[in-house]
Structure 1
Amino acid sequence: MAHDHMIEMLDLDAEVLHDYHRELTQWVGREAGDHPRVVDLGAGSGTGSLALARDLPGSTVTAVDVSPDMLAHLRARADAAGLGDRIRTVEADLDQPWPDLGPTDVIWAASSMHHMADPARALTSAFGTLRPGGLLVIAELDSFPLFLAGTPDEDLERRGHAEMARRRDEAGLHMHENWPTRINTAGFGAVNERRFDIDLRPPLPPATARYAEVSLLRMRDALEGRLATADLAALEKAATGTATRTDLSVRTTRTVWLARR
């Protein structure tokens, strides 16, 4: 069930933050050239793969993920969107030696590099996979979405985020990497950096309430035993009440780095 909620949350992120995702893929499309062969690292539920296939005419996408459930969901979405013939899936653990992914013009890593056990090794593998002149795209979250800013529950949500950040640090996730330095060290050229400050206020996309509910419930479940019982109960109440709230917003920051081999 937790895995199903992760898939749903990723799909909702794509729906609610549609403008950000569209702007990003269009930017990449302008840099990628014609008919690019794209590899999507840690493709998850398929947000990036589908957007790239849709927004980059003539592109083909290889979606790589360790989870067969994620890849099955991605394939179903691609078929439903009429993109199944341009997206193939590869099940692989990217912390192990990479499979042969074929000639590659663009490597796309959206919210996946921080999961790598050894980001330096992953970037070296990316460099080796790309053709000369090929494009590396890394998109990472500076902050996870806040839904309750400016409401009586804002402090509660921020405490939850602070504890989640500590939990990720303890798990060894690479949330605070100096990606430009990492990218240059792997052999890539100049890094083009762009920051997206997302601040959505009412009226919000219809899926926002469910996006907030799933996100807050995942936070509540992840922090069992790490937050006070009263805070856990309050988080659950805030999550299950999103459908009737009129004070939701969506605030998050994402940074994207582009570099060429």
Structure 2
Amino acid sequence: MSSHHAHHGDDIDWEGMAAHLERKAEVNAPYLRAAADWLHGLLGAADSGAVGRVLDVGSGPGAITCLLARRFPSARVAAVDQSEPLLDHARSRAESEGLGGRVETLRADLPDDLGALGAADLIWSSQAVHHLGDQQGALNGLAAALRPGGLLAIAETGLPPRFLPRDIGIGRPGLQARLDAAWEEFFADMRAGLPGSASVVEDWPAMLTRAGLVPSGTRTFLVEHQAPLDGRVREYLRLHLTHVLGALGEGLDAEDRGTLEGLVDPDAPTGVLWRPDAFYLSAATVHTARACTLDG
């Protein structure tokens, strides 16, 4: 389970996937650092021994794993993913950042291997739980891995990215609103097709409560890169829209599909790599909850 998608089969472009996820983490770095600071405060981790083990469940290539290792310098941190190639990237990244002595990797197929993760003081999982059929069951399993007083942080929902004006001079105005609607249909179909798919009201604090935890706060973090975008953010935006085009495919009408194809064309002057009006604005929501202490 990478931080975006469950993958099956041997035809995945893992190098491309790793590059995409690493670029996403780079674009989201201000939010991720702010979230790590918030978790540090919630755990009272000024006491250097307060956090001994951290799990990054759905770690992908380990960018967030390494961020958590730096923010909790006394902890051992485990990158947990189903993809061995992505875990190879996580190991290499940890070594290159001087964190190899404290960062380990665990290959796990979720939800089957939830019980084998071992106990942790902090568990972080970003955009992974919604790829498991039984989301409540997944939260129950993650909650069971927490040590008394431990913290579970689930990054789910938020707001989809905005990146262009309503009227971009090509195609019908309002493209992004139509993409949002098409994506909701795609997401619902994806969820319905997952093994053991179970419908649940996605009230994450209530779900965390049902998992036996005590909600400790929800925060939404703004991700903003203003126009004109630098090259790294432009390339991530092109990759993001390429993924959207591949996922929605024939679900778009011909005009919107053509507009999207033009936006991801690396050589088109109207593409996102070159447009002066391209920006990136999104919001990520993190839900947290604590395990009860032994005396409470």
Q: Would you call these one fold, judging by a TM-score over 0.5? A: yes
2:222 is the counterpart of 1:197: yes
Find the counterpart in structure 2 of residue 259 from structure 1: 289
**2: CA distance, partners of 1:31 / 1:191:** 8
2:32 is the counterpart of 1:21: yes
Check whether the contact 1:114–1:175 (CA below 8 A) recurs between aligned residues: no
Find the counterpart in structure 1 of residue 131 from structure 2: 115
1:115-149 alpha-carbon deviations (Å, 9 max, x no partner): 12212211221222111101111111323322224
The equivalences for 1:1-261 within 5 A come to 3-32=14-43, 33=45, 34-35=48-49, 36=51, 37-152=53-168, 155-172=174-191, 177-240=202-265, 241-261=271-291
Q: What amino acid sits opposite 2:244 in the alignment?
A: M
Check whether the contact 1:42–1:112 (CA below 8 A) recurs between aligned residues: yes
SS at match of 2:67: helix
**2: CA distance, partners of 1:176 / 1:45:** 31
**2: CA distance, partners of 1:122 / 1:71:** 21
Q: TM-score, normalised by structure 2?
A: 0.81
Q: What amino acid sits opposite 1:125 in the alignment?
A: G
Check whether the contact 2:31–2:222 (CA below 8 A) recurs between aligned residues: no
**2: CA distance, partners of 1:198 / 1:101:** 31
Structure with greater proportional helix content? 1
**2: CA distance, partners of 1:164 / 1:4:** 25
Alpha-carbon distance change, 158 to 76 in structure 1, aligned in 2, over 3 angstroms: farther
Q: What amino acid sits opposite 2:37 in the alignment?
A: Q
**2: CA distance, partners of 1:4 / 1:167:** 25
Check whether the contact 1:48–1:110 (CA below 8 A) recurs between aligned residues: no
Q: What amino acid sits opposite 1:192 in the alignment?
A: G
Q: TM-score, normalised by structure 1?
A: 0.91
Structure with bigger gyration radius:
2
5+ unaligned residues in a row in structure 1: which ranges?
A: none
Structure 1 stretch displaced more, 37-46 or 156-165: 156-165
How many correspondences in the alignment?
Answer: 261
Check whether the contact 1:45–1:73 (CA below 8 A) recurs between aligned residues: yes
Alpha-carbon distance change, 151 to 28 in structure 1, aligned in 2, over 3 angstroms: farther
Alpha-carbon distance change, 176 to 199 in structure 1, aligned in 2, over 3 angstroms: farther
Q: What amino acid sits opposite 1:88 in the alignment?
A: E
5+ unaligned residues in a row in structure 2: which ranges?
A: 1-11, 193-198, 266-270, 292-296
- Post-superposition offset of 1:73: 1.8
**2: CA distance, partners of 1:245 / 1:203:** 8
**1: CA distance, partners of 2:290 / 2:230:** 35
1:25-49 alpha-carbon deviations (Å, 9 max, x no partner): 1111222323421011111222320
Alpha-carbon distance change, 175 to 95 in structure 1, aligned in 2, over 3 angstroms: same
